[in-house]
Amino acid sequence: MLFAGNEQQRAYIDATIPALPTVHLDGYNVHYASRKSMFMPAIIKQVPGMLSTIKQEHEWLKGIVANHKIDVVISDNRYGLHHDYIPSVIMTHQLQVQTGLGQTTDNIFRKLHYRYLEKFDECWVVDVAEAPGLAGSLSHTQKLQKKTGYIGLLSQQTPLSNTDNDYLLVLLSGPEPQRTILSDKIWAQLQDYKFPIVFVEGSNNIQPRNQIPEHITYHKQLTKDELSNVFRNAGMVICRSGYSTIMDLLRMGKKAILIPTPGQTEQEYLGRILQEHCMFICQEQSGFNLAKVIEQTRCFPFLTHHLEHHFDDYKAVVDKCLDKI
């Protein structure tokens, strides 16, 4: 087995699975706009560069396969990592692209998306098969021409029994400058509360806060094991509505308040439908009010149990793939 990723991803693998060899593969290096209205236009402007990177990584893979005797490739949303002579699989939860620029633009990007997905022998959709699943219309839409299968939900977290600790966990992540904007907004509102709070900035590339009240436990960033511990003991979580984060919440059986990254249409869509399905509360960053949202949690149902048993579905799919080697 061989893992390919950028410097940060390889460092994480080296720390958590030291026996797994790794090779360097640059990411798409997408840059994000600071204003919500410019978020998706900025992404679209970078599409030509991303298409060029896809071509480069496809050529890169040919050398890797030849030098390392690879039998199968499993790609996590890397559209150039398919090969003509060995089974190639791509994993995604987003079949339908949400641009926020209207149905016509969505359709254009879906066709482009499908063109790349269909270069793979299989497409594994990270969601449950029964609509609406977790991702709604992002993952349950027009079928691909080639083999498409739903593999359930994925999480690196392991559910453990809760302890008596019951605090509010603020877990920040995502691109700058929106991560810092949200961090400052929440931090200012936490000062008036005296219940226990664990605050995780989600970045080591920042200056730590100087004055930390006694009721707040502060971290810049946590390892996988440290994050599992704070997840396990949290009574409520405030976080972004990224798909991986949402799956971690489900895996750990946690109630959460989701705050989508402004302009990131996928996160905004996920937050909206999950609140409509009474699974999580969703609040916009611009008008976030901690006092109001905490009051809202007192009567919100948080109906997530129907999805919590789908985290082993992938095993049968992976075994079937390996049997073909």
Residue with tokens 């611009």: 286
DSSP 37: G
The tokens describing 225, both together, are: 């094991």
Q: Where are the beta strands (DSSP E) in 120-215?
A: 122-125, 147-150, 167-171, 197-200
pLDDT of residue 104: 86
Q: Which distant-in-sequence residues (6+ apart) come within 8 Å of 288 by Cβ?
A: 182, 185, 186, 189, 259
Helix intervals (H) in 71-173: 103-117
Do residues 81 and 57 touch, judged by C-beta distance below 8 A? yes
The tokens describing 285, both together, are: 């960053």
Q: At what angle do helices 265-276 and 243-252 cross, to 10 degrees?
A: 30
* Residue 302 identity: F
Q: Rounded CA gap, 53 and 133, in Å?
A: 32
DSSP 285: S
pLDDT by residue for the chain (325 residues), tens only, comes to: 999 999 888 988 888 889 999 999 998 877 776 676 777 778 778 888 889 999 999 999 999 999 998 999 999 999 999 999 999 999 999 998 887 778 888 888 888 889 999 999 999 999 999 999 999 999 998 766 668 899 999 998 888 766 666 899 999 998 888 999 999 999 999 988 889 999 999 988 888 898 899 999 999 988 888 888 898 889 999 999 999 999 999 999 999 999 999 988 999 999 999 999 999 999 999 999 999 999 999 999 999 999 999 999 999 999 988 887 7
Q: Rounded CA gap, 46 and 29, in Å?
A: 10
**H or E element: which one contains 75?**
strand 73-76
Nearest to 130 by CA among 320, 255, 313: 313
Q: Which domains does the chain have, with CATH numbers?
A: 31-153+312-323 (no CATH), 167-307 (3.40.50.2000)
* Angle, alpha carbons 302-39-269 (nearest 5°): 25
Q: Which distant-in-sequence residues (6+ apart) come within 8 Å of 173 by Cβ?
A: 179, 202, 239, 240, 242, 245
pLDDT of residue 43: 78
pLDDT of residue 302: 97
* Residue 78 identity: R
The tokens describing 203, both together, are: 């970045």
**H or E element: which one contains 45?**
helix 39-45
Do residues 116 and 109 touch, judged by C-beta distance below 8 A? no
Nearest to 28 by CA among 3, 63, 53, 60: 53
Helix intervals (H) in 136-211: 178-190
Q: Rounded CA gap, 242 and 305, in Å?
A: 19
pLDDT of residue 66: 92
Rounded to 10 degrees, what is the CA torsion of 8, 11, 13, 14? 170
pLDDT of residue 246: 98
pLDDT of residue 29: 77
Q: Is 12 helix (H, G, I), strand (E, B) or coil?
A: helix
pLDDT of residue 81: 97
pLDDT of residue 162: 61
The end-to-end CA distance of the chain, in Å, is: 13
pLDDT of residue 309: 92
